[in-house]
A and B are shown apart, each in its own frame.
Chain A
Amino acid sequence: MAIVKFTLNHQPVTVQSDLNRRLLDVIRNDFNLKGLKEGCGEGECGACAVLINHEIVNSCLFVLANVEGKEVITIEEFAKTKRFTVIKEAFAKMGAVQCGFCTPGMVIATESLLHKNPHPTEMEIKVALSGNLCRCTGYNMIVEAIQEAAKAGEGLW
């Protein structure tokens, strides 16, 4: 047991817990934020992605100890932004959401990509999102959605 302090969705938080716990479990269970999902528990599918200091991170591979002093943003907080609204409309329009289980992670990956590269090429999108698996859509509709978001959100990133 130890005390870890970090910022979760812009609020300073303190967690007293086993340092080896996965950030995924801490966020889902201790803070009741259900937006991030466990798809594989081994960093392969990307369904548990969060932003830590604006970098995309698979929270299933991130232990609590490492989050000390960092800033964590989950889909619930990102969903309040204008950039999210742009991504949401683009995903909806392009039919990029089917079962939706991978989608919060996809949205986080999209934000992470556009934050660094507001005008990605198709190949850059594919590379940036290759860590987020989807078994429903066949992917092309998601790639189109991100292209659409980059266009519609011109100036936001």
Chain B
Amino acid sequence: MKVVNQEIPSIDGKSLMMGRQAYSNDFADTDSLIIKVLRSPHPFAKIEVIDISAAQELPGVVIVLTYVDFKRIPFTRAGQGYPEPSPHDKFVLDEYVRYIGDEVAIVAAVDEETAIRAVKLIKVEYKVLEPILDFETAYNNQQILHPEPEIHEMFPIGFDPKKNIAAQYHMEIGDVEATLNKCDVVVNETFYTQAQAHAMMEPHTCNARFDHLNRLVIYSSTQTPFHIRRIISQALEIPIARIRVIKPRVGGGFGGKQAVHGELIVASVTMRTGKPSKLVYTRKEVFESTYTRHPMRFDMRLGAMKDGTLKAIDCQVLSDTGAYGEHALTVFMVAGSKVLPLYNKVDSVRFGGKVVYTNHTPAGAFRGYGAIQGNFALESVIDVLCHKLQMDPIIFRQKNMIKEGESSAIFAIMGEGTEGTPMTMDTCKLEYCVQRGMDLIGWKTKYPRQVVSKDVVRGVGMAIAMQGSGIPLIDMGSAIIKLNDGGFYNLLVGATDIGQKSDTVLAQICAEELETTIDKIIVTSSDTDLTPFDTGAYASSTTYISGNAVLNAAKAMKSRLIEEAAIMLQTTIDKIVFNGNSFFDSQKKQKISLEDLSNRLYYNQNQKQVATTGSYVGHKSPPPFMAGFAEVEIDIKTGETSVINYVSVVDCGTTINPKLAQGQVEGGIVQGIGMALYENVIVTKNGKLVTNSLMSYKIPTRLEIKNLVTEFAESYEETGPFGAKSVAEIGIDTPPAAIMNAIYNAIGVRINSLPATPEKIWHAINERQNNQE
């Protein structure tokens, strides 16, 4: 392969470094009205009186909108395929506010200062209601957070708002209780994960204006332009043909921009005023008023025989979706469906639980999407079991984990909101990943611990993980390739580059098939008017789904070019050989270059446009796999812990661009390390988020990140474009479990509630010492 599997620099990286106009806010009209949102100071309240007169009278204020200005149309902001597996439980504005930071009123003014002043002039009388801030008390609480009659589910997801349930699910294969009863060893542990923040560098932003056709044009920092167009049309009753959504460069998403953010707000303001408008979230608003990872509680039980055969897994989950149910069911299900198949040889497996409403910032999609939470719980409790069995955790995993050619009954049963799709692991290099990772970290010499000094101990721990490659039979991507005069191509894709560099990866796939170089492939992505449909950048789908769509379009283009060359050379297609630059007729010893062919087609001879379309929907979702190994260093006097080495060995099929794939893995690893050790979420007892700035919410900086080693296994997935599976999410899954296992191996204490802050570790060390005394 000449272009695929090559470390080609990204096509847009150099221009972005120069500071070119590229992101949504860079394209806002200079005369845009500036929008500010009045947000709720209460975690749960009903608006009794709202007086906007003083705000409206302030010179420079153009419009003030409250819930009375909106028709009551429930929808979900989730940004998923339609019909969505998330409850339709949100209104643009509502008379109820359900978390501190929820929208109360919208102000648009001629400048920012005026908009901020106007927001302060709005007088609201709230009937303050008792909030639910502990998600373990939400189910069947007498306080009902969503009493409104219009809300509904699109198909059965277990939605039961009278009990504060956004979604619920249960499945069992075999008989877990009976199997556990027969096991030699049973372990039982509870785990908690926190409401991690995406903390992408570009805050959420969007802007709107009317174009020369009087159509509403929205630039948005989004992962799902086509879903956004559909939701704007539904929620605001604007004909869909009148809306254009453009996604320029996006400064990071990680799931946090899959759902609607300000698009309905800017659309409403521009529709009603006729004027361009823009909304840029402050960093505080990004933290308080967008989305988080779903916090979860896991009650895990494992049963095994003395020889180390795992027999049963019971995984019961309680998930906190916050004030609204975006991704409630699907994130929760992925905590099982992309975790439990790792141990496919069990006799019985059970997964179930509830997703409850609380008065927290809504949870939503976040890289890993439930799998990181489930992986933390399962891969931690596996080590607890190994300890009880007195078995090396690697030997245990090698004996029980899924292997190439095998399957799991779970694949057929659990999908994302619906039934799943049966599949066999045609590529699964987990055995290699584990073995190679062991060697790279030096497991044999370092396991379980090394004492560095009186107060400093090092330990190693590991975890294995899987993810998916798009959602089978739901996620669809498509591509159009257009040949231009001069012999170069436009590649139009709906796929959404959010900084992961999918435009580059898709150009590489296209160039490889057309046997050309990527400078001949001009990529335009994510403009609902210009590019074909794509569900968007989520579920690790772009390389596999959109990549296959591009490959199909490129194959079609190649055939079309050969047809046209045969006509031009007055021969038949079977005689034509194409090398990317020229077409040769071997018998007549003639040739025509692609450039000549295109110029003749457009200017002189047999004139016509050559363009092809390709689309792809997955029939399976081949999981990428990885083994992650952490080496931690702990100061036992202070509890301070750092990851001094992290080894990742990944099976993502062919790496279309090894450097970019490494970037995906390492970016995920560092977010996972952040979730494991640093990213503490503090909420006051009144429901106020304390960690609402980059000062107080600590994402890792360069200083925290020590040595990262990332390697890829040789692997070729037949159904993927040039053998590729996905690589976007798999990197984030292992750090929480691998690091907690390493901490346990170092100092003998297990942290079951993330993040493992120095205080928690210090307390755990002291508690253990007190117990021993």
Report if A139-B17 is in contact (Cβ < 8 Å); known contacts: A42-B283, A97-B10, A98-B499.
Answer: no
Separation in Å of the B550 CB from the closest CB of chain A?
20
Q: Are A95 and B663 in contact (CB under 8 A)?
A: yes
Residues of A within 8 A of B7 (CB): 95
Q: Which residues of B contact A136 (CB under 8 A)?
A: 201, 252, 499-500, 663, 667
| 25 A-B pairs whose Cβ atoms sit less than 8 Å apart in the complex | A34-B23, A36-B19, A37-B23, A38-B280, A39-B203, A44-B694, A75-B17, A88-B18, A91-B13, A92-B9, A93-B9, A95-B662, A98-B499, A99-B250, A99-B499, A101-B23, A103-B13, A107-B17, A126-B703, A135-B200, A136-B667, A137-B663, A138-B708, A139-B705, A140-B666
Would B20 and A35 count as touching, CB distance under 8 A?
Answer: yes
A47 touches B201 (CB 8 A): yes
Q: How far is the CA of A33 from the CA of B708 in the complex (A)?
A: 36
Chain A residues with CB under 8 A of B250: 99
Given contacts A42-B695, A133-B701, contact A92 B663 (CB under 8 A): no
| Residue contact A99 to B201, C-beta cutoff 8 Å | yes
In whole angstroms, what is the CA distance A135 to B702 when docked?
11
Residues of chain A contacted by B297 (CB below 8 angstroms)? none
Complex: how many Å from CA A134 to CA B674? 12
Q: Can you name the residue of chain B whose Cβ is closest to the Cβ of A29?
A: B30
> What 0/1 pattern do residues 17 to 38 of B give for CB contact below 8 A with A?
1111111001000100000000
Annotate B652-680 by CB proximity to A: 1 below 8 A, 0 otherwise: 00000001101101111111000000000
User: In the complex the two chains form, is A135's CB within 8 Å of B667's CB?
Assistant: yes
B202 proximal to A (CB < 8 A): yes
Q: Are B16 and A103 in contact (CB under 8 A)?
A: yes
B763: min CB distance to chain A, Å: 28
Closest residue of chain A to B708 (Cβ to Cβ) is: A140
CA distance A146 to B10 in the complex (A): 18
Residues of chain A within 8 A of B705, CB atoms compared: 138-140
1/0 contact string of A55-81 vs chain B (CB within 8 Å): 000000000000000000011100100
In the A-B complex, the 5 residue pairs with the smallest Cβ-Cβ separation, listed nearest first, are: A35-B19, A99-B499, A101-B251, A100-B16, A138-B666
CB distance from A36 to the nearest CB of B (A): 7
Q: Is B254 in the interface zone, CB < 8 Å from A?
A: yes
A38-B280, A40-B693, A99-B250 given. 12 additional CB < 8 A pairs? A39-B251, A42-B694, A42-B695, A75-B18, A76-B18, A79-B19, A95-B10, A100-B13, A102-B251, A135-B199, A136-B500, A137-B666
Complex Cα distance A35/B19, Å? 4
- The answer to the question of B449 belonging to the interface, with a C-beta cut-off of 8 Å to chain A, is no
CA of A90 to CA of B240 in the docked complex: distance in angstroms? 45
Q: Is the CB of B201 within 8 A of A45?
A: yes
Q: A residues touching B (Cβ–Cβ < 8 Å)?
A: 29, 33-42, 44-45, 47, 74-76, 79, 84, 87-88, 91-95, 97-104, 107, 125-127, 129-130, 133-143
How distant is the Cα of A37 from the Cα of B700 in the complex, in angstroms? 20
Known A35-B19, A130-B702, A135-B201: A141·B663 in contact at CB below 8 Å: yes
CA A38 – CA B14 in complex, angstroms?
Answer: 20
Per-residue contact bits, chain B 180-222, to A (CB 8 Å; 1 contact, 0 not): 0000000000000000001111110000000000000000000
Taking the complex as formed, is B699 at the interface, i.e. its CB lies under 8 A from any CB of chain A?
A: yes
CB proximity of A106 to chain B, nearest CB, Å:
8
Taking A40-B693, A138-B708 as contacts, is the C-beta distance between A133 and B703 under 8 angstroms? no
CB of B498 within 8 Å of the partner chain: yes
Q: Which of B499, B694, B699 contacts A100 (CB 8 A)?
A: B499
Which residue in chain A gives the minimum CB-CB distance to B672?
A138
Instruction: Compute how far the CA of A84 lies from the CA of B647 in the bound complex, rounded to whole angstroms.
Output: 33
State the CA gap A37–B693 with chains docked (Å).
17
- Chain B residues in 8 Å Cβ range of A141: 659, 662-663, 666
Question: What per-residue 1/0 map shows which CB atoms of B688-731 lie under 8 Å from chain A?
Answer: 00000111000111110101100000000000000000000000
| Contact in complex: A135, B694 (CB < 8 Å) | no
Contact assessment for A101 and B17 in the assembled complex, using a CB-CB cutoff below 8 Å: no
What is the size category of the interface that chain B forms with chain A?
35 or more
Which of A39, A42, A127 meets B703, CB within 8 Å? A127
Residue of chain A at shortest CB distance from B500: A98
B701 touches A130 (CB 8 A): yes
CA distance A70 to B501 in the complex (A): 38
Q: Are B666 and A134 in contact (CB under 8 A)?
A: no
* Most chain B CB neighbours (cut-off 10 Å) among A45, A47, A74: A45
Select which of A45, A74, A126, A137 is within 8 A of B667 by beta carbon.
A137
A88 touches B17 (CB 8 A): yes
Indicate whether B249 reaches chain A with its CB closer than 8 angstroms: yes
B203 with A38: CB separation less than 8 A:
yes
The listed residue with most B CB atoms (<10 A of its CB), out of A37, A100, A127, A143, is A100
Q: Of residues 405 to 429 in B, which have CB atoms within 8 Å of A's CB atoms?
A: none
**What's the count of A-B pairs with C-beta under 8 Å?**
171
Contact residue among B203, B695, B702 (Cβ-Cβ distance under 8 Å from A44): B695
Most A-side CB within 10 Å, residue of B14, B203, B699: B14
A95 and B693 contact, CB distance less than 8 A = no
Q: What A residues does B498 contact at CB under 8 A?
A: 99
Residues of B within 8 A of A133 (CB): 201, 694, 699, 701
- Which residue on chain A has the smallest CB distance to residue B113? A18
Q: How far is the CB of A120 from chain B (nearest CB, A)?
A: 12
Is B53 an interface residue, CB under 8 A from the partner? no
Alpha-carbon distance A139/B254, docked complex (angstroms):
16
B662 and A134 contacting across the interface, CB-CB below 8 Å: no
The closest CB in chain A to the CB of B112 belongs to: A25
Q: Nearest chain A CB to B373's CB is how many angstroms away? A: 19
A101 engages B201 (CB within 8 Å):
yes
Residue in B199, B200, B667, B699 whose Cβ sees the most chain A Cβ within 10 Å: B667
- Specify which chain A residues have a CB less than 8 angstroms from the CB of B662 in the assembled complex: 95, 141
CA–CA, A138 to B693, complex, Å? 20
Interface contact B702-A129, CB-CB below 8 Å: yes
- Which of A87, A98, A135 counts the most chain B CB atoms within 10 A? A135
A102 to B499: give the CA distance in the assembly, Å.
11
B254 and A135 contact, CB distance less than 8 A: yes
> In the complex, are the beta carbons of A101 and B499 less than 8 A apart?
yes
- The CA of A37 and the CA of B670, in the complex, are separated in Å by 23
Closest to B8 in A: A92
Within 8 Å of chain A (Cβ to Cβ): is B12?
Answer: yes
| A45 CA to B599 CA, complexed, in Å | 50
Cα distance, A40 to B201, chains bound together (Å): 8
Docked-complex contact B249 and A99, CB < 8 angstroms: yes
Residues of B within 8 A of A104 (CB): 16-19
In the bound complex, what is the Cα–Cα distance between A93 and B702 (angstroms)? 19
Chain A residues within 8 Å of B203, by CB:
38-39
- Would B694 and A40 count as touching, CB distance under 8 A? yes
**Is B282 located at the chain interface by the 8 A CB criterion?**
yes
Which of chain B's residues has its CB closest to A98's CB? B499
With a cutoff of 8 Å between Cβ atoms, the chain B residues found around residue A97 in the complex are: 10, 13, 16-17
What are the residues of chain B within 8 A of A93 when measuring CB–CB? 9
| Interface pair A101/B202, CB less than 8 Å apart | yes
Closest partner residue, chain B, to A125 (CB atom): B702
Contact check, A99 vs B670: say whether CB atoms are below 8 A apart. no
Residues B10 and A92 in contact, CB atoms below 8 Å apart: yes
Interface string of B158-199 (1 = CB under 8 A from A): 000000000000000000000000000000000000000011
B663 to chain A, nearest CB (A): 5
**Which A residues lie within 8 Å of B663 (CB)?**
95, 98, 136-138, 141
CA distance A134 to B669 in the complex (A): 13
When chains A and B are docked, how far (Å) is the Cα of A34 from the Cα of B21?
6
Judge whether A138 and B19 touch: CB under 8 Å. Answer: no
A95→B26 contact, CB < 8 A: no
Contact B667 A98 (CB under 8 A): yes
Give bound CA distance, A59 to B23, whole Å: 19
- Between A84, A97, A137, the greatest number of chain B beta carbons within 10 A of the residue's beta carbon is seen for A97
| Distance of A71 Cα from B22 Cα, bound (Å) | 26
What are the residues of chain A within 8 A of B703 when measuring CB–CB? 126-127, 130
